Amino acid sequence: METLKGQKKMRDNLVSVDFSWKVENFSKLNKFKHYSDIFSVGDYKWQILLYPRGNNVDFLSVYLVVAESSKLRPGWSRYAAFSLTLVNQLHPSNSKTLDTEHLFNKRGCDWGFTSLIPLNDLCNPSKGYLVDDMCIIRAKVAVHKAEIKIFEHQASSSAPIKPSDKKRKELESGQAILTIPDLTHVPPGPPIVKEPEDLSSPPLGELEDFRGLGKIEKAFVPLLDEVCSWHPSLIECQRKRSRMFTEWAFTALGRLLHFMKTKKVKDMTDEACEELKLLWEELEAFKFDLAWLEPSVQRALGMKKIVESSGKLKRLRKDVDALQTQTKRLRAELAVAEVNLEAAVRDLNKTQEGLDEIDINGELGYGRG
């Protein structure tokens, strides 16, 4: 059974959702992994992924997953800050909550905690995590989204399980999002689903420190250095953010700059334009002042028409060349036909001269002797 609380806007243009999942008949779950129903945060669909017997460990493993990831378009990515809670049904203050942040994309469509709680503690009735063969997992997910619609939806008559007052205040104020929790003893699990890299993206390689703000893909650093020298506000607006948030912000900017640097006018197909739109939408969420960049992006998106016109021009030139060749051939055939016509007219006239003196309708007759 799932419970979804309405979305609300948070600072830094974040939108959050509380989602509670009652996992019933826990001891009878015979699948290696188990998914919750799909829930939405803004325009994006998510699920909780549960490993009831642990993901190759003796711990309960829980992850946040992008739902229907196979349908994601090339270049899709979304920054999300989230917490996953195993609710203690006997002593709510002992509920187990972990927080993290992740940039979800086709290369990493799930993230979470491989070791949330030891299975021995989970299955111990006195601990309060598994009651009447049911456990409750709660997710609070916050994503960036410009101009998002707010909706209210109640999927169940049951009231959602509330976190501790301290955790609730942290999440609603953004503290849990902007402060990276200490996960030394319970590291977030690596992505489970492996997807091929997007062809337009540079290969994942060496990371390099970018002006003390974080580790950024090495290929992006020269591009970022250049634009930040022109526009120092790009750095200033990120100084009060968490290190992870800043790394993802400049990674998003670097991805778009890399796209603009490596793509040629002829490459701006429908698919490339869609990818650029996604990169731009992702970048806008990080609240940079992008007035200097927007005209170039709009111009790049307009290149599609130029590419289409260029293709049409090539086709028209090919058609003209074919028609010119056909015209030359027809003119040559016409010249030959004119010569043949003149010869035929001469033969006609010569033959007709001998026939004009004879009445072809007259009697042949016979002599009188």
Burial class (CB in 10 A: 0-12, 13-18, 19+), 176: buried
Task: Answer yes or no: do 178 and 237 share one domain.
Answer: no
Average pLDDT for 223-228: 94
DSSP category for residue 170: H
- 217 in the same domain as 71: no
Kindly state whether residues 262 and 122 are assigned to the same domain. no
DSSP letters along 301-361, please? HHHHHHHHHHHHHHHHHHHHHHHHHHHHHHHHHHHHHHHHHHHHHHHHHHHHHHHTTS-TT
Distance (Å, whole) CA 199 – CA 8 = 36
How much of the chain, in percent, has pLDDT values that exceed 90?
Answer: 38
The separation between the first and the last C-alpha atoms of the chain, rounded to the nearest angstrom, is 133
For the chain, percent of residues with pLDDT exceeding 70:
77
| Amino acid letter for position 334 | L
CB hemisphere CA count around 337 (13 angstroms): 6
Q: Domain check: are 298 and 321 in the same one?
A: yes
- Residue 86, domain CATH: 2.60.210.10
The total domain count for the chain is: 2
pLDDT at 366: 75
In-domain check, residue 362? no
Which span out of 33-47, 92-106, 115-129, 355-369 was modeled with the highest average pLDDT? 115-129
**Domain end among 151, 166, 189:** 189
Give 303-307 contacts, CB < 8 A, sequence gap 24+: 303/265, 303/268, 304/268, 304/269, 304/270, 304/273, 306/265, 306/268, 307/265, 307/266, 307/268, 307/269
Asked if residue 237 and residue 343 are part of one domain, the reply reads: yes
pLDDT of residue 192 exceeding 50: no
- Identify whether 361 is part of a domain: no
Residue 48 shares a structural domain with residue 159: yes
159 and 241 within one domain: no
Instruction: Evaluate whether residue 14 is within a structural domain.
Output: yes
Retrieve residue 12's tokens.
Answer: 């830094």
Q: Are 65 and 109 in contact (CB under 8 A)?
A: yes
Domain boundary among 149, 164, 189: 189
Q: 120 and 210: one domain? A: no
Q: How many CA atoms lie within 13 A of 304 on its CB side?
A: 13
Cα–Cα separations (whole angstroms), residue 277 to 107, 254, 297: 19, 15, 9
Angle between helix 294-355 and helix 243-262 axes, rounded to 10 deg: 20
Domain encompassing residue 169: 2-189
Mean pLDDT lowest among 186-200, 242-256, 318-332: 186-200
Could you read off the pLDDT of 260-316 as tens digits, one per residue? Answer: 999 988 888 888 888 888 889 888 878 899 999 999 999 998 887 777 777 777 888
Residue 258 lies in a domain: yes
Same domain? For 229 and 347 the reply is yes
Contact at 8 Å (CB) between 60 and 119?
yes
The pLDDT of 213-224, averaged and rounded, is 90
Domain boundary among 139, 169, 189: 189
DSSP letter for 131, please.
B
Residues in the chain, overall count: 369
Alpha-carbon 334 to chain mean position: 61
Residues 166 and 248 in one domain: no
Same structural domain for residues 121 and 249?
Answer: no
DSSP H helices, 184-230, are 221-230
DSSP string, 11-65: GGGEEEEEEEEEE-SGGG--SSSEEPPPEEETTEEEEEEEETT-SSSSEEEEEEE
